[in-house]
Chains A and B, each alone.
Chain A
Amino acid sequence: MKENVLLERLKNGLLNENPTFVLMLGMCPTLAVTTSIINGIGMGLSTTVVLVLSNLLISLFRKVIPDGVRIPAFIVIVASLVTVVQFLMQAYLNDLYASLGVYIPLIVVNCIILGRAESYASKNPVLPSIFDGLGMGLGFTFGLSCLGAIREILGAGQLFGIQILPLADRANGVAGFTPITIFIMAPGAFLVLAFLVALMGIVRKKMAAKGKPLKEPSGCMTGDCAGCGFSASCQGKSKDDKGGETA
């Protein structure tokens, strides 16, 4: 029984509520760092570490933290963990740290982390919370590596930095692959994500027809605050059709 809950949390994060494909959360790092599969995996794993530890701590302290100040408390916990991860990466994985740059400290504002803290870890025991964080983190890592792989193959013909598609050499008349460089530049990120969203729309429709509808995306992408941990502090005032009316 106990193990079922843990496995269920893992599966939930990896498939049912995959943060990248299903919930569409944390889109800033998703777009920014997926220029190669290595960057995607690095970003995903650093987020996973922060997510597991923050879920662990928040679940431990869930009965001590007063309800009124829980969001600031969560932010302090997450920011401290991010700082620790940042220093560890700077010390041991300096190349990766240099290529991810400002996006490592920005893990603090990744809505997946506060979203899980708010919707799961602050209400559940320690062990399931750890596995929830692990599942979500690995799901995010999986999403980032998929996007990273697509962009690296199309944009450079490489995977893990190894040339897998032989390059064309026009001058010597060698046929081969011409890298579509735009895919590893900024516009490519938007384009790949656009196709992903369109594809997931089709999958969603198929699953609904089978009677197993997927969870709706809940991120800021849809203008819906439910998935965001900060929704409690901003009272979900983002609905833009109401803009200007609410005083």
Chain B
Amino acid sequence: MKALILIAIGSALVNNVVLSQFLGICPFLSVSKNAKTAAGMGGAVIFVIGIASLVTSVIYKFLMVPLGIEYLQTIVFILVIAALVQFVEMFLKKKMPPLYESLGVFLPLITTNCAVLGVALTNVTKSYGILESVVNGLATAFGFFIAIVLMAGIREHIEGNDVPKTFQGTAIVLVTACLMSIAFMGFSGMI
């Protein structure tokens, strides 16, 4: 239990997926213009990464290790993730329309999100079991959620500020990300 909590805190705060590992930068910069959409994107990422880390670790443990094909992990994981996202999208559309309404638009975007593949590969590299993988996945995704929602909140305020002309747009967002990253470095002594 203690190990799981340490994994969770480590992945969500200390090694934040966006601010210290630079995975999922694209949605972090492009879908963070307002807090509501950012929260939607964050929710969708938690959902997909949670399922993806479960499925990839089950496939790895019960299919790839017995067959001795661990070296195919990159190919298998990216295909599994792509298929999974399509499947989840169809399932939600059919069975849970309200959830689909709020997450649906973000789902296809997530296939390309390097964070999903990154988490699946990290789980293998650190030889996490299935439960640890899911915890690590959910915590990483929660870290993404925190980062993107905070960023969206800050960006809503930047809108009304007098930003130097050269830095308007992406540049000021990156400066903000830099400051957030410094703030998150403060967690580094926790574990």
Name A's B-contacting residues (CB within 8 A).
Answer: 24, 27-29, 31-32, 72, 75-76, 79-80, 82-83, 86-87, 102, 105-106, 108-109, 111, 182, 185-191, 193-195, 197-198, 201-202, 217, 219-223, 228, 230, 233-235, 237-238, 240-244, 246-247
User: When chains A and B are docked, how far (Å) is the Cα of A187 from the Cα of B102?
Assistant: 32
Leading 9 A-B pairs by shortest Cβ distance: A220-B26, A234-B108, A194-B174, A223-B30, A190-B178, A32-B22, A243-B37, A187-B181, A79-B75
Beta-carbon contacts of B88-104 to A below 8 Å, as 1s and 0s? Answer: 00000000000011101
Closest A residue, CB atoms, query B16 = A186
Beta-carbon contacts of B23-48 to A below 8 Å, as 1s and 0s? Answer: 11111011101101100110000000
Q: Cβ of B31: which chain A residues have Cβ within 8 Å of it?
A: 223, 238, 240, 243
Whether B167 lies near A234 (C-beta < 8 A) is no
Q: Cβ of B6: which chain A residues have Cβ within 8 Å of it?
A: none
Known pairs A82-B74, A106-B114, A190-B174; A244 contacts B22 (CB<8 A)? no
Whether A111 lies near B112 (C-beta < 8 A) is yes
A-B contact count (CB 8 A): 161
Q: Is B118 an interface residue (CB 8 A)?
A: yes
Whether B34 lies near A240 (C-beta < 8 A) is yes
Q: Is B135 an interface residue (CB 8 A)?
A: no
User: When chains A and B are docked, how far (Å) is the Cα of A224 from the Cα of B111?
Assistant: 16
CB<8 Å pairs between A and B, sample of 18: A28-B24, A32-B23, A83-B74, A102-B125, A105-B117, A106-B117, A111-B112, A185-B185, A190-B174, A190-B178, A191-B175, A194-B171, A197-B174, A201-B169, A220-B25, A220-B27, A234-B109, A243-B37
Whether A108 lies near B117 (C-beta < 8 A) is yes
Q: Cβ of B175: which chain A residues have Cβ within 8 Å of it?
A: 190-191, 194
